[in-house]
Amino acid sequence: MSKIAFVFPGQGSQTVGMGKDLYDNYEIAKKIYAQADEIMGLPLSTISFEGPVELLTQTHITQPALFVHSYILTQLIGDKLTANSTAGHSLGEYSANVYAQSINFEEGLRLVKRRGELMKESGVIRPGTMAAVIGLNEEQIDLVCKEAREHQIVQPANYNAPGQVVISGDVEAVRRAMAIAKAEPYNSKMVKELQVSGAFHSELMVTSSEELRVAIFETPFKDALIPVYSNAEAEPFQMKSAIMNSLFRQLMSSVKWMQLITNMINDLNVKRFYEIGSGKVLTGLIKRINPEVELYNIGTIDDIKNLSVE
């Protein structure tokens, strides 16, 4: 039987209405949402189901909402399908660790809540932005960022797929990099500034990262039951110390998604990837990284009912 990996989405995959079908049809979903609302101290379930979108897309709301939705899905498919390894994109690495049982749901949600708050605050303390750059390779991206810095910060934040990189840093430096990428000799196919509240996965996250480290190391972790691939290293970790350090480093480090997926395929012979959560961002990226693997999405009640484990 082919090896299976679960991958969990991060910020940007949220949609108003996510989880409502699960809440309406499964008692366990109702219980988990009630628990989440209590931990969050706000109606996370209502915001997930009804919006408004302006509230759901705020970092400190988006992250817990996606995390809770993905967790409920894992509980609903647990008797049908299990994974041999797991990973998540940015926030999704927390979902992956809950699935691998290195941390429980309640503690995971508290950490995600704190992470979202810190990331929101960081954008106020030192405003930053991010931009997607399409059509350039890693070496070209490095050169563009180096040329654009001018004593500010701009760096690769997400290596998402071949020719698809996100950069992050000070607003002026990122916009200089965007202009450089579009011009000769790089001629990027597309450059687009993202609607984010800060320069995530960059050195601008240093203060938030240190505060998150305190929260992580106050949280009871265990060794993971299955390999969890790290965003920062693109390598599998199971020891709790390595997992904790990975989550701390992640906020300032590039998300090495392309290398991570390649390593999962090469190291473990993963043939089937299931994206557990809202949207189809990760399966889209994985298809570009390796079109030979099988890709599935589990985000709705229909996906659960149609689940094939053959």
Q: What is the CATH number of the domain that holds 143?
A: 3.30.70.250
The gap between the terminal CA atoms of the chain, to the nearest Å, is: 9
Is the domain of 91 the same as that of 137?
Answer: no
Q: Of 173, 197, 221, which residue sits at a domain end?
A: 197
171 found inside a domain: yes
Asked if 223 and 293 sit in the same domain, the reply is yes
Is the domain of 191 the same as that of 42? no
Residue type, 44: L
Question: What would the two tokens of residue 163 be?
Answer: 């020719």
132 and 119, same domain (yes or no): no
Is 162 found in the same domain as 67?
A: no
Res 307: pLDDT: 86
Token pair in block for residue 144: 């563009």
User: Whole-prediction pTM value?
Assistant: 0.96
Give the residue among 1, 81, 3 at the shortest CA–CA distance from 265. 3
Statement to judge: residues 98 and 162 lie in one domain: no
Q: What is the pLDDT of residue 309?
A: 57
Examine residue 38 and state whether it is found in any structural domain, yes or no.
yes
Examine residue 182 and state whether it is found in any structural domain, yes or no. yes
Tell me which residue has tokens 């890709």: 295
Task: Flag whether 162 is in a domain.
Answer: yes
* pLDDT per position as a tens digit, 160-170: 999 999 999 99
Same domain, 83 and 211: yes
Could you give the CA distance from residue 236 to residue 261 in angstroms, rounded to a whole number? 11
Q: What pLDDT score was predicted for residue 64?
A: 98
236 and 112 in a single domain? The answer is yes
Identify the burial level of 42 via C-beta atoms within 10 angstroms of its C-beta, where 0-12 means exposed, 13-18 middle and 19 or more buried: middle
Domain end, chosen from 174, 197, 220, is at: 197
Using the 3D structure, point to which of 197, 230, 249 is the last residue of a domain: 197
What pLDDT score does 45 carry?
98
Q: What are the residue ranges in the chain where pLDDT is below 50? A: none
Give how many domains the chain has, as a whole number. Answer: 2
Task: State the catalytic residues.
Answer: 90, 201
pLDDT for the residue 256: 98
Looking at the structure, do residues 31 and 56 belong to the same domain, yes or no? yes
The whole domain housing 54 covers: 3-123+204-305
Whether residues 290 and 155 share a domain: the answer is no
Residue 238 within a domain: yes
Q: Are residues 21 and 166 in the same domain?
A: no
Tell whether 112 and 133 lie within a shared domain.
Answer: no
Question: At 115, which CATH number?
Answer: 3.40.366.10
Task: Give the per-residue pLDDT at 123.
Answer: 87
Tell me if 310 is assigned to some domain: no
